Amino acid sequence: MSYELFYWPSIQGRGEFVRLALEAAGADYVDVARERGRGRGVEAMMRLMEGPDLKRPPFAPPFLRAGKQVIAQTANILCFLGPRLGLVPRAEATRRWAHQLQLTVEDFIVDVHDTHHPIAMSLYYENQKPEAKRRARFFTEERAPELLGYFESVLQRNPGQRGYLVGRSPGYVDLSMFQIIDGLRYAFPKMMLRLEPGIPGLVALHDRVAQRPNVAAYLASERRLPFNVDGIFRHYPELDA
Amino acid sequence: MSYELFYWPSIQGRGEFVRLALEAAGADYVDVARERGRGRGVEAMMRLMEGPDLKRPPFAPPFLRAGKQVIAQTANILCFLGPRLGLVPRAEATRRWAHQLQLTVEDFIVDVHDTHHPIAMSLYYENQKPEAKRRARFFTEERAPELLGYFESVLQRNPGQRGYLVGRSPGYVDLSMFQIIDGLRYAFPKMMLRLEPGIPGLVALHDRVAQRPNVAAYLASERRLPFNVDGIFRHYPELDA
């Protein structure tokens, strides 16, 4: 099956968690807003999303079109793709557990995002800088250690799983955790220097995922957008004190 | 089947979205942390959650025990309970849609929570009051109208569904939307006075849900905790300008 991913074309953002899954599985997909031509580009994405004909409209990108279905919410998209792309084990309880972890990844993403946007998404960072500094301090000192520690403990409770969070090969949750570690290293290098010795399992997971042939090829390609200060993970040195 | 819900005993919080589903369906359940005795109370909840034996530990309450499974993350719990309690239609694509809406409800909850805690969950409201005022202004003027408008438009696109968001009888998404409207009326009465004329469908949905016999009985019982200034929906008049 061929998939169409709809997401902002210039940032990794939430779309990256879906891109990583599609790429790792070697899926056939189009990153619609990054292409040109008929039915492509940001305008096409907005037209679809805001069109009055869509009975089940997304609230925001990313969303995925698979046949007649239009599916939104990152974790929901991954929950749909996981079984289809072989990125989650078969047992129903394990799939539910994977989704539970993915929703905790989502909480993590919100916390990262809010370090630079604690007041409003519609304001520039420059207009919420004092608040951002304060929130980022709690993130780097409390929240990030707590969340990373949680995922590290999940890894440690699964010695039979070859260093992956779910299953014995890298699934969508592992790909998302790779992205979290990668993004935190970009945005908060000082914090990660301090925290990484305490999360050896997650660091190893990150490296193992990055070396998977499909992932490595993707990361080296132009399809992988660079981190920048428009996405979720932003490097503002003043927030990484 | 009998369920055990684990959540903080003195607030509605996120647990309330699960309580409403269990109550509306007349399910057999124990609200563990609100009971006394062996294996009951907050201590029992913390012991289970933080115990080293749990292979699939929750990051935080609420969580549900159903037989041998321990399931966390509010939307994930509802995704599990929905089919079992008859609170979501049968078709797979419709269940995915319901879950997508529930995840957007989750986004809404985070936004409500962050009006009074924009900096850190570990700080008292009093210690983040100026930031809260600023964030609340964006919530009441931008974010809440946007989210409520989205859900109203979802309702309007489903004329055959008798005024419910998903399906033809109130499902877990409708119960959650009841709680959002109810909570916003408590926390932001001025804002709701202004916004309610624009969301007649959601207001009618709220009233219709509240009149369902099981829901009405629950709301009139002592099991329904009152809103207070410790939960997600808090009434601080200065945030409802």
Q: pLDDT tens-digit profile of B134-143?
A: 999 999 999 9
Which residues of chain B neighbour A54 with C-beta distances below 8 Å?
157
Contact A96 B147 (CB under 8 A): no
Residue found by looking up tokens 């609340």 in the block: B136
State whether B193 and B168 are in the same domain. yes
- The DSSP annotation for A135-193 comes to HHHHIIIIIHHHHHHHHHHHHHT-GGGTT-SSSSS--HHHHHHHHHHHHHHHH-HHHHH
- Which of B107, B138, B154 is nearest residue A122 as measured by Cβ atoms? B138
Task: Find the domain containing A182 and state its range.
Answer: 92-212
Which residues of chain A neighbour B157 with C-beta distances below 8 Å?
54-57
In a domain, A44, yes or no: yes
In a domain, A229, yes or no: no
Which residues of chain B neighbour A99 with C-beta distances below 8 Å?
73, 76, 79
Q: Which of A70, A96, A108, A155 should be substituted to probe chain B, the one whose Cβ sees the most B Cβ atoms within 10 Å?
A: A96
State whether A161 and A200 are in the same domain. yes
Q: Give how far Cα B44 sits from Cα of A62, A76, A183, B66, Å.
A: 40, 32, 37, 16
Which residues of chain A neighbour B51 with C-beta distances below 8 Å?
none
Q: Determine the pLDDT at residue B1.
A: 86
In a domain, B230, yes or no: no
State whether A47 and A123 are in the same domain. no
State whether A102 and A197 are in the same domain. yes
Q: Which residues, other chains included, contact A52 with Cβ-Cβ below 8 Å and sequence gap of 6+?
A: none
State whether A68 and A103 are in the same domain. no
Secondary-structure breakdown of chain B: helix, strand, coil percentages, each rounded to the nearest 5: 60, 5, 35
Neighbours of B182 (CB within 10 A): 19
State whether B24 and B44 are in the same domain. yes
In a domain, B201, yes or no: yes
> What would the pLDDT profile of B9-39 be if each residue is shown by its tens digit?
999 999 999 999 999 999 999 999 999 999 9
Number of domain units in chain A: 2
Q: Given A85, A112, A143, which residue is the final one in a domain?
A: A85
Q: Which CATH number belongs to the domain containing residue A122 in this structure?
A: 1.20.1050.10
Which residues of chain B neighbour A117 with C-beta distances below 8 Å?
none
In a domain, A225, yes or no: no
State whether B126 and B165 are in the same domain. yes
State whether A103 and A73 are in the same domain. no
Nearest to B134 by CA among A158, A34, A135, A89: A135
Q: Determine the pLDDT at residue B145.
A: 98
Q: Determine the pLDDT at residue B159.
A: 67
Contact B73 A138 (CB under 8 A): no
Of A157-166, B18-27, B93-102, B219-228, give the lowest mean pLDDT range.
Answer: A157-166
> What would the pLDDT profile of B42-90 be if each residue is shown by its tens digit?
999 999 999 988 999 999 999 999 999 999 999 999 999 999 999 999 9
Q: Which residue of B has its CA nearest to A59?
A: B150
Identify the segments of chain A with pLDDT beneath 50.
none
Torsion of CA A173, A175, A177, A183, to 10 degrees: -150
Contact B131 A119 (CB under 8 A): yes
Q: Determine the pLDDT at residue B53.
A: 86
ipTM of the complex: 0.97
Q: Which two tokens stand for residue B12?
A: 């509605």
DSSP state of A72: E
